[in-house]
Structure formats: structure tokens, C-alpha cells
Structure 1
């Protein structure tokens, strides 16, 4: 069997390494954008063999709307009409909520018994709280130990707004802010998502702030 010239072999290896880097860096940028504000350190490992990777230089990546954003995932990579699925592992580091002191069942969570801790978000239990606003004023359903990660299933939320309530919707973007009133369609605590029916019938969704306003970032 005729061997390839050394220069050609080297060139093919460099091209392969370049393609690998492009896909990995593209996926890292894809997840970093979606995890902005949650994680500032995202690392992606592609487990699918390179022979099954997309062939174009800049594939379009997508996930199902309800998909997780870390751990073991299947990502669709599209080059025009060519669709492929890549198996990836996403590691994300960021802050999450833990108990800073022993908390007895039935107690209210507040700044005296909560703190943020930094670590691997992809290794947290399901529905772990990632901001203090999610935990404040919630009532515990079980005893909590110092350093224990707090999840949504461990607490009973105090509703900041209730379905049917009139609420203020604040939509803001670069250089502008617009306020309008609507009717809440669901109960929601601070930092949770709320759906609101506006006067024109349109339904919008946003995040509840400490004052009970619905914040939408455009």
C-alpha cells in the first residue's frame, strides 16, 4: 500500500484539528450565550466521533425549548439541509444557594441563613436555586444543614403575585423602558416566571421582582 507523503499527512492532521477546534469553540460559544448571567465558565466536550460532525465551517446549533443547558446533551448541528446530532457534555461553573446555618423545618429563609456558593452547576441536584431572590421568604419543608444545596422541592414559596392580580409590566432594552399594566395569569414568587395578559389581549411573560413588577428584557 502506497504511503501518503509526510507533508500531506501533516496537512490532513492540521485540517482535522482545525475542524475539531471550530466545532468545539462554536458549541462553547453557543452554550456560553445561553448561560450568560448564570455561568461565566463553560466547557464543552464533544463525544460524537469527528467523522460524524457537520461539514460546514459554521454550523447552526439548536436545542429543544425545554432542554437542560448542562450535563449530557444531544445538540442538533445544521449545515443547510444536512442535520446531525452531536452528543456533548457541558460543564458549567457558577453560583448557587446553600444554607449558611442550620435551618429547622417550617422556618423562613432569609439573608441570615442563606449564602451563595460557587461550584459545578452541572453536578447540582435538579431544580437547585441559583439566586438568593429565589429563596428569600420561602418556608422550608425539611431541616437544612449548613452548606446544603437548596432546591425548589425543599421549600414552599411565598407568592409575590397571584393569578388574577393586576400587575405592572416593565419592558426595557438598551436606552429605553416602557411600563404597562396587565393581569397575572399564574401565581409566582420573586425571581420566578409570570405570564401576563395585557389590555390588548396579548400574553407576555417575564420575571417577578421584589416589588411585584414583571420585568421583560428586550
Structure 2
């Protein structure tokens, strides 16, 4: 009879996995749902820290550094008044990410027909996976990419808007004035990247490339 009772208890526990859930799984899931709004529409959190080591209040104030990881194994600061504790948790997030639709040889310029969005577990992707398909537009591959392979930001670079040796317009702007002049670019640069320009006078200046390929200098 004792054996039957033991198996009955085990069956009950297996049927009710919430028995094992941490008291902070739900509030932490809500915290990360807010952080991942617009990126993931399905978020759950499993707290790894034992309940005995959790903060003394049922609803702590949670916070993370601005550059902290969004999913996977994370460390969250929980505050209950003056009590501060770090909680270890696993964040599981599902959403869209960018994959190649066909083989993309190194040096390929990507267009919309070469990539698509795929839905899956974001926390199981390699770091710096591309989540926004617009990031792939006109990007150049730095390595061969296989069909259906998640595209990482480290696998591509933006197309050069300015190339070394090219004649460019330099626009120096300050409060109430703007001065245009010309020079020769000394490096390749994409939009929003820094470019060095040798002016016709011989002076070398630094600025940021705009959408039109001009070099902007804020004074």
C-alpha cells in the first residue's frame, strides 16, 4: 500500500508542475514581458535561486543594467526596501528572427527576397542574432550563410555609402550657420559611421556619413 501511495504522490506532482514553481516566476515573467514588448510575444521565467534566498516581500522591485542580457540565464536585482538581492533566473522568449532563404556567398548584397522572418526561441539563438529584417536590407555578407541559417549581425556589414578616395561634400554646421566644402574620403564608411576627409587645404577632418553621402560635422 505504501508503494501505491508513493506512486500516487509522484503522479500528482507530475500532473501539477506548478508545485515546483518559484513564488517569483510570475512577477518576473511580467517584468520581462514589459522589457521584451515588441520583440517577443511569449515570455516565461524560471527562477533558479532557492525560495529561502529570495527577498522577504512577495513583489520586489526588479531592475537590470541597461546593457544586460534580455533572455537566457540572467541575474536580476530585487529590492524589498533596503534589502537587495540578486536572483538567478532563466528567461525563455519566443519571437521572430531573420534567416537566409538560400545560400548567401560571402560578399553578397542582401535584398528582401534573400531573407525572411522565422519564429522560434530567441533565447536559444547565438548572440547578436538579427531580429529586424530591415537590418538585412543592402547589407553585405562577410561569410557564407546557409539556407535557413539565422543571420547574426557579426555576419554582415552595411553597404559603404562613402568609399576611400571618393570626392565628398563636407557640411559643417553650428548654431545659426552652415558651411559646405569638398574633400576626399580617407576610409570606407556606411551611413551613420564616422569618415575621415582630407580637405583641399590639406586639413583632415572627421564627420558622420548621412543618407546622401555627405559628411556632417557639428560645431
TM-score, normalised to structure 1's length? 0.64
Q: 1:75 & 1:139 partners in 2: Cα distance?
A: 37
Q: How much has 1:165 moved relative to structure 2? A: 7.2
Moved more, 150-159 or 115-124: 150-159
Unpaired runs of 5+ residues, structure 2, are 1-18, 163-169, 173-188, 194-210, 213-219
Is the 2:42–2:93 Cα contact (8 Å) retained in structure 1? yes
Q: 2:130 & 2:29 partners in 1: Cα distance?
A: 24
Is the 1:134–1:189 Cα contact (8 Å) retained in structure 2? no
Match of 2:50 in 1: 49
Q: How much has 1:158 moved relative to structure 2? A: 2.7
TM-score, normalised to structure 2's length? 0.64
Q: 1:45 & 1:66 partners in 2: Cα distance?
A: 21
Asked which structure has the greater CA Rg, the reply is: 2
Pairing 1:111–2:112 present: yes
Pairing 1:99–2:100 present: yes
Q: 1:145 & 1:81 partners in 2: Cα distance?
A: 52
SS in 1 for 2:112: coil
Match of 2:132 in 1: 131
Match of 1:78 in 2: 79
Moved over 3 A (4+): 187-190
Structure 1 residues 87, 102: closer, same or farther in 2, change over 3 A?
same
Measured on the aligned residues, the alpha-carbon RMSD in Å equals 2.9
Is the 2:22–2:46 Cα contact (8 Å) retained in structure 1? no
Match of 1:207 in 2: none
Q: 2:123 & 2:51 partners in 1: Cα distance?
A: 24
